[in-house]
Amino acid sequence: MLSNDDNETLCRVGKGTPMGELFRRFWLPALLTSELPVPDSGPRRLRLLGEDLVAFRDSQGRVGIIAAHCPHKLAPLYFGRNEEGGLRCIYHGWKFDVTGQCVEIPNLPASFNVAALKQKAAITGYPTREAGGFVWVYMGPRDREPQMPGFEWTAVPPEQNHVARWLQRTNWAQGMEGEIDSSHISFLHREFDPVSWGNKALVKVTAPIPPGTRDAAPVMTIRETPYGLVYGARRNNDSGDYLWRVTQWFVPMYSMIPNGEYPRSGRAWVPVDDHNVMVFNYTYRADRPFTTEEWSYLEAGPSFPPPKEPVAVELDDGYVIDTWVPLARKSNDYQLDRERQKKVNFSGISTVTDQDRALQENMPSGFGLGPGRIVDRSREMLVPSDAPVITARRILIKMAKDLQKGIEPSQPHDGKLYAPLSMSALAPQAEFDDFLAAWPAGRARVEAGDGTS
pLDDT tens track for 176-200: 999 898 888 888 888 886 554 444 5
CA atoms of 20 and 113, how far apart (whole Å): 38
Residue 231, SS3 per DSSP: strand
Q: What is the pLDDT of residue 318?
A: 96
Positive or negative: CA dihedral 438, 442, 444, 447: negative
pLDDT grade for 218, boundaries at 50, 70 and 90: confident
Q: What is the pLDDT of residue 260?
A: 81
Contact in structure between 246 and 446 (CB atoms under 8 Å):
yes
Q: What is the pLDDT of residue 192?
A: 82
Residue 167, SS3 per DSSP: strand
Contact in structure between 296 and 282 (CB atoms under 8 Å):
no
Q: What is the pLDDT of residue 453?
A: 32
Mean pLDDT calculated for residue range 220-237? 93
* 206 has pLDDT over 60: no
Mean pLDDT calculated for residue range 344-367? 89
Over pLDDT 70: what percentage of the chain?
Answer: 91
CA atoms of 188 and 179, how far apart (whole Å): 12
Q: What is the pLDDT of residue 438?
A: 85
Q: Where are the domains of the chain?
A: 27-144, 152-310+324-448
CA atoms of 131 and 157, how far apart (whole Å): 10
pLDDT in tens, 15-52: 999 999 999 999 999 999 999 999 999 999 999 999 99
Q: Which of 29-33, 54-58, 151-155, 293-297 has the lowest mean pLDDT?
A: 293-297
Question: CB-based contacts of 113: which residues, under 8 Å, 6+ apart?
Answer: none
Mean pLDDT calculated for residue range 313-336? 96
Q: What is the pLDDT of residue 194?
A: 55
pLDDT in tens, 438-449: 876 566 566 654
Over pLDDT 90: what percentage of the chain?
Answer: 75
* 300 has pLDDT over 80: yes
Chain mean pLDDT for the chain:
91
Q: Mapped to the 3 state alphabet, what secondary structure does 72-111 carry?
A: CCCCEHHHCEEECCEEECCCCCCEECCCCCEEECCCCCCC
Q: Which CATH number fits domain 27-144: 2.30.30.90, 3.90.1720.10, 2.102.10.10, 3.40.190.10?
A: 2.102.10.10
Q: What is the pLDDT of residue 370?
A: 62
Contact in structure between 88 and 94 (CB atoms under 8 Å):
yes
CA atoms of 412 and 359, how far apart (whole Å): 32
Q: What is the pLDDT of residue 312?
A: 98
Q: What is the pLDDT of residue 371?
A: 64
* 237 has pLDDT over 70: yes
**What is this structure's pTM?**
0.93
CA torsion angle 18 447 184 11 (round to 10): 0
Q: What is the pLDDT of residue 419?
A: 94
pLDDT in tens, 362-421: 998 866 656 668 898 888 999 888 999 999 999 999 999 999 999 999 999 999 999 999
Query: Which H or E run includes 6?
Result: helix 4-11
